[in-house]
């Protein structure tokens, strides 16, 4: 956890909530040969976002919303902000 002053019980709660978010996103991902959840998440997110002007399906919208929420948790709570290479 990025905040060194966080109580153990609160840290465990954040981690459990993050795992729950991952479990909710996994069924929204397409079948992939990638083993890593991170790789599947980012690959699918980038594929959807590269299709400029596309109208997303309800499932795609839901995936993008949840993926953004999860990435924000990683950044805000864990200090991980390098999931996506925005320079490429």
pTM, to two decimals: 0.80
Among 47, 45, 31, 56, smallest CA distance to 83 is for 45
Which pLDDT tens digit goes with each residue over 39-78?
999 999 999 999 878 899 999 999 999 999 999 999 888 8
Single out the residue of 64, 68, 63 nearest to residue 27, CA to CA. Answer: 63
Residues 6+ positions from 21 with CB-CB distance below 8 Å = 66, 69, 70, 73
pLDDT tens for residues 12-29?
999 999 999 999 999 999
28-50 residue pLDDT tens: 999 989 889 999 999 999 999 99
Rg over alpha carbons for the chain, rounded to the nearest Å, is 14
């Amino acid at each position: 956890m990025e905040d060194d002053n966080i109580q153990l019980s609160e840290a465990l709660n954040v981690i459990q909530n993050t795992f729950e978010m991952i479990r909710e996103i996994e069924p929204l991902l397409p079948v992939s040969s990638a083993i890593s959840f991170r790789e599947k998440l980012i690959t699918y997110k980038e594929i959807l976002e590269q299709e400029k002007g596309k109208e997303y399906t309800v499932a795609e919208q839901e995936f993008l919303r949840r993926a953004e929420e999860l990435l924000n948790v990683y950044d805000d709570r864990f200090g991980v902000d390098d999931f996506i290479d925005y320079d490429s």
